[in-house]
Amino acid sequence: MASGMDVTAGAGGFRWFALQTRCRYESFVANHLGGNGYELFLPVYKCRRHWSDRIKELELPLFPGYVFCRLNPLDRLPILVTPGVIQVVGIGKKPMPIDDAEITAIRTVVQSGLPGRPWPFLQVGHRVKVERGPLSGIEGILIAFRGRHRLVLSVTLLQRSVAVEVDGAWVNVTRSGLPANLSSTLLAGGLS
């Protein structure tokens, strides 16, 4: 390969890439490319909007302006000419794949049925691994917000995150180098 980039993900086919879309074109792009045989992932969440005369529940993208797609980056022209697609996200003009662990974590949240929400991107915090419950096996950053624990999962390339409420008993602090009793204090509500 001329680019030196590993474009395959083993038995699963091509790697996941993020497609940047025009504002509110995420569903259109996903439907169009899905109809053309591409494997797409458009994570959504339910949101209630209040109008003067009614309340409506909408499905909105967890990553506004982005759709995830398995593709061969050396053959991306059919994707780039799709109405609503701006670009395949990368560094400069070189497309960069999304870390498989990040996609797996986001897919696990969506499949769990737990309500996820877009969240500001976090790089630092108390890393935890979920050991019980519907999110078992994924890692993220644990924060306390309004008296509840939230697990923040990020897509580093996009500098965007998603938060999902978790039970503090489901998680175990990792990579912190903290003694067990201090880890317990953090999970008991010492996070801020």
The answer to whether residues 82 and 50 belong to one domain is yes
The domain that holds 26 is classified in CATH as 3.30.70.940
What is the CB-side half-sphere exposure of residue 116 using CA atoms within 13 A? 28
In-domain check, residue 56: yes
Q: pLDDT confidence of 9, banded at 50, 70, 90?
A: low
- DSSP labels, 38-106: --EE--EEEEEEE-SS-EEEEEEESSTTEEEEE--GGG-HHHHTSTTEEEE-EETTEE-PPPHHHHHHH
Among the candidates 95, 125, 140, a domain finishes at 95
pTM assigned to the model: 0.82
Domain count, the chain: 2
In-domain check, residue 3: no
Q: pLDDT tens digit string along 123-143?
A: 788 889 999 999 999 999 999
The answer to whether residues 83 and 153 belong to one domain is no
Q: Which residues of 116-140 are buried (b: 16+ CB within 10 A; e: fewer)?
A: bebbeeeeeebebbbeeeebeebbb
Structural domain boundaries, residue 85: 10-95
Predicted confidence at residue 37, as pLDDT, reads 95
Among the candidates 33, 66, 95, a domain finishes at 95
The answer to whether residues 104 and 186 belong to one domain is yes
In-domain check, residue 64: yes
Length of the chain: 192
Q: pLDDT confidence of 175, banded at 50, 70, 90?
A: low
How many Cβ atoms are within 10 Å of 73's Cβ, its own excluded?
A: 18
In-domain check, residue 4: no
Distance CA 98, CA 40 (A): 13
- Model confidence at 104: pLDDT above 50: yes
In-domain check, residue 107: yes
The answer to whether residues 47 and 113 belong to one domain is no
More confident residue, 142 or 8: 142
Predicted confidence at residue 118, as pLDDT, reads 95
Among the candidates 95, 125, 146, a domain finishes at 95
% of residues, the chain, pLDDT over 70: 84
Predicted confidence at residue 123, as pLDDT, reads 79
Q: Is the dihedral of CA 126, 127, 132, 138 positive or negative?
A: positive
Q: pLDDT tens digit string along 41-87?
A: 999 999 888 888 888 888 999 999 999 999 999 999 999 999 999 99
Q: pLDDT confidence of 178, banded at 50, 70, 90?
A: very low
The answer to whether residues 118 and 60 belong to one domain is no
In-domain check, residue 88: yes
The answer to whether residues 61 and 140 belong to one domain is no
How many Cβ atoms are within 10 Å of 22's Cβ, its own excluded?
A: 13
